[in-house]
Amino acid sequence: MGYIRDSIHGDLHLNDFELEILDTVEMQRLRRIKQLGFTNLIYPGANHTRFEHSIGTLFLADKLAKRLGFDSEIQQLLRICGLLHDIGHAPFSHVTERALKHKHETVTKQIIKNSSITDKLSQKFDPKLVMNIVDGKTSYGKIISGDLDVDRMDYLKRDSYYTGVAYGVIDTERLIYSLTYDNNELLLSSKGVQAAESTLLARYFMYPTVYQHHTTRIVNGMFRVAIKSMLNDNVIKEDELRYLDDGELINITRNTKGIAQQTIQNIDTRHLYKKTDTIPLTEITNPEKVVNIDEKYLREAEVEIAEKLDINPECVILDVPEELSFKKMNTKVQTHNGLKPLNEVSPIIESLKKAQYKYADIALFMSKQNKQKAEERNIKIEDYLTLPT
């Protein structure tokens, strides 16, 4: 048995089996992977890690499992799923993910299925069941990966605390005690609608303030160019990233001559790219399609802009927002008229689905010198990118 003192949740109790999982190489690597990538360049306190978040998710999974009245075996299963749900993240988390073929969820399942953790996990649980729950499947999946999951509850509270941005402060206690489980489905009581609204409002405000802050997007875009360059030149292979941490990847980048080395030097000295042009998503007919725009198409537009300016295509970054927060809300609310989708019960949720595009845009990033060239030649995104309709 052991205790870990967490800055958000206090003393977290772990049993011997969980400590064994925690001490594996795969889990310990998460100590050296920042939860928010390069966001500490904007919010200096944002140095918390995937390791902390994973333990926090375990804690909240346990709390919710007890609230729902699950037996001890299911409680233990959900604790382990919370602990392992982010184990597949590459260095710098979501920063690098957009440069890769496989999402972290896919790598997480691969690690659970085939790694040093697998044998340990098999002593108590079916790894395939753990994989499915982490993936949001089975009747328990929405607890770990859903509209109002324990993953989101932890990261909003944790990210808010370490960035100092108060928007992410949510009432996890009220939300947890507003959730029920009936007919193998996670449901929200009518009294919990405000707690759910508060949680989703927090995500809405954290999006432009932290997760998609314009400087964060610029740094992330610059670093992704470096990653893609190293992948294309076989300096690193995508499959190797699951074994690397932030420091190791930075070290490789520093020692790779060319755009990779220059990029990390620019980030070190804060010689960051500038926003050269932008198209707000509110001006686009079908903004929801923009986040899924073909990466190849973006790269072709970057090449055209570079040719127009007579510069290297790697010096041009066309950036679209990451996937936005509010899709169809599948969580159902227990009302006096039966079960209703949350977005039908709450007008706020429906409003957020529209309002989420207010702060999002397609942006063109370039160095200060190249931005000046682009302005002189009147470079506009719309002249090189046909937007989805």
DSSP-assigned letters across all residues of 299-350:
HHHHHHHHHHHTS-GGG-EEE-PPPPS-S----EEEETTEEEEHHHH-HHHH
Percent of the chain with pLDDT over 90: 76
Query: Which residues does 235 contact at the CB level (< 8 Å), separation at least 6?
Result: 229, 252, 256, 260
Three-state secondary structure call for residue 179 = strand
Using a 10 angstrom Cβ sphere, with 0-12 exposed, 13-18 middle and 19 or more buried, the burial of residue 179 is buried
List, in sequence order, every residue forming a beta bridge with 335; answer none if it has no partner: 338
**Domain identity same for 235 and 302:** no
Classify residue 230: in a domain, yes or no. yes
From 137, 172, 152, 38, select the one nearest 86 (Cα to Cα): 152
Say yes or no: 263 and 306 in one domain: no
The pLDDT of residue 357? 82
For residues 235 and 231, give the distance between their C-alpha atoms in angstroms, rounded to a whole number.
Answer: 6
Residue 26 and residue 31: Cα distance in Å, rounded? 10
For the whole model, what pTM was predicted? 0.94
Number of domains in the chain: 2
CA 83 to chain centre: 16
Q: Which residue has the tokens 């970054």?
A: 317
Q: In which domain, by residue range, is 282 found?
A: 273-324+360-389
Strands 185-189 and 332-335: parallel
pLDDT of residue 8: 96
Q: Are residues 267 and 277 in the same domain?
A: no
Q: Is residue 337 part of a domain?
A: no
- 260/368 same-domain check: no
Backbone angles phi, psi at 84, to 5 degrees: -95, -5
Instruction: Assess if residue 343 is contained within a domain.
Output: no
The reply to whether 285 and 160 lie within a common domain is no
Q: Do 146 and 18 lie in a common domain?
A: yes
Of 252, 272, 292, the last residue of a domain is 272
The answer as to whether 116 is a domain residue is yes
d(CA 115, CA 112): 7
Based on the fold, state whether residues 32 and 146 are members of the same structural domain: yes
**Which of 272, 288, 303 marks a domain boundary?**
272
Query: Which residues contact residue 375 at a Cβ distance below 8 angstroms, ignoring those fewer than 6 apart?
Result: 276
The answer to whether 80 and 130 are in contact (CB under 8 A) is yes
Same domain, 131 and 246: yes
Q: Are strands 10-14 and 179-182 parallel, antiparallel or unpaired?
A: unpaired
CA atoms of 28 and 111, how far apart (whole Å) = 14
Tokens of 328: 């169809």
Q: List the chain residues with pLDDT less than 50.
A: none
pLDDT of residue 228: 95
Do the domain assignments include residue 354? Answer: no
CATH code for position 31: 1.10.3210.10
Residue 364 contacts residue 278 (beta carbons within 8 Å)? yes
**Residue 128: inside a domain:** yes
The answer to whether 278 and 363 have CB atoms below 8 angstroms apart is yes
Task: Measure the CA–CA gap between 91 and 37, rounded to whole angstroms.
Answer: 8
Q: Which of 272, 292, 312 is the last residue of a domain?
A: 272
Task: List alpha helices for the chain, DSSP H.
Answer: 16-22, 25-29, 50-67, 72-84, 94-97, 104-113, 116-122, 127-134, 141-144, 150-163, 172-176, 193-206, 214-232, 246-254, 259-268, 295-309, 342-345, 347-355, 368-376
For residue 331, tell me if it sits in a domain.
no
Integer Cα distance of 193 and 177 in angstroms: 12
Tell me: do 36 and 94 sit in the same domain: yes
Do 90 and 123 reside in the same domain of the chain? yes
Clarify whether residues 226 and 94 are in a common domain: yes
37: left (phi over 0), alpha (psi -120 to 50) or beta: left
Same domain, 151 and 31: yes
Residues facing 332 on adjacent strands:
187, 341
Is residue 204 included in any domain, yes or no?
A: no
Q: How far apart are CA 374 and CA 308, in angstroms?
A: 9
